[in-house]
Amino acid sequence: MSSNFSPVYTLLKRDLTLAYRHRSELANPLLFFVIVVSLFPLGISPESKVLQQIAPGIIWVAALLAAMLSLDNLFRSDFEDGSLEQIALTAHSLSLLVLVKVFAHWLLTGLPLLVIAPLLGVLVALPTDAMWTLMATLALGTPVLSLIGAIGVALIVGLRRGGVLLSLLVLPLYIPVLIFGANAVATASSGLPVIGQLYFLAALLSLSLTLSPFATAAALRISLS
């Protein structure tokens, strides 16, 4: 048990330490999220009734784009310094190590978005009743964004300019998360039950946790071969 836990802890600590040394890169997705949401009241209307109708879509689209902004750093630095090849050659399960790296990515990008989202919800006049739904949908949806995005990043990690290709690969897969996440918040704003949307997001998270590590590991082996 300890031999299986040791590489997991070591890799997680390494990724978090490297991210701490490049704190400016960590701030970029969060600042992007804040700026995009903050500009909508200025560009559309500051009236609360107008903002309440578009607030769920604004927050979820901004969160999705912020998550995509940070995806390129998931495997890029490891690929460039050769660490990714060493990780792939270890005796430990590559799928498990990929899952650890995705979890570290979510801690550094998805969790900050989850924490700051209620403050931005107040900015766009999101009703109080919908705040908990917003938190729940982001808690279920942002890990899915990281897990699905990892597959796309693994496929293009060997390309120097794969940003546009990454968008084409992962955006169609992000659409169900966006639809059900934003719809759940909008439904909660109307005072209606949202358990169906939350169940669907939970199902997507379970499916992503089950399949994404294996698909990402296979994509990495293809990119490194």
Convert the pLDDT of each residue in 42-56 to its tens digit.
888 778 788 888 888
Look at residues 114, 107, 90, 84 and name the one whose alpha carbon lies nearest to residue 3.
90
> Per the structure, how many domains does the chain have?
1
In this prediction, residue 2 has a pLDDT band, given cuts at 50, 70 and 90, of very low
Dihedral of CA atoms 90, 210, 185, 72 in degrees, nearest 10, equals 30
Read off the tokens for 154. Answer: 């693994």
**Residue 176 in tokens:** 């169900």
Reported as a single tens digit per residue, the pLDDT across 73-84 is: 788 777 877 778
- Give pTM, 2 decimals: 0.89
Q: pLDDT for 115-134, tens place per residue?
A: 999 898 888 888 888 899 99
- φ/ψ (deg, to 5) at 128: -60, -35
User: Residue 99 and residue 217: Cα distance in Å, rounded?
Assistant: 9
The proportion of the chain whose per-residue pLDDT surpasses 70, expressed as a percent, equals 96
Burial 33-69 (b: 16+ CB within 10 A, else e): bbebbeebbeeeeeeeeebbebbbbbbbbbbbbbbbb
Q: What is the pLDDT of residues 9-66, one digit of tens each?
A: 888 888 888 878 777 777 888 899 999 898 888 888 778 788 888 888 899 999 999 9
DSSP for 173-214, please give it: HHHHHHHHHHHHHHHHHTT---HHHHHHHHHHHHHHHHHHHH
Domain residues for 14? 2-224
Confidence label for 1 from pLDDT (cuts 50, 70 and 90): very low
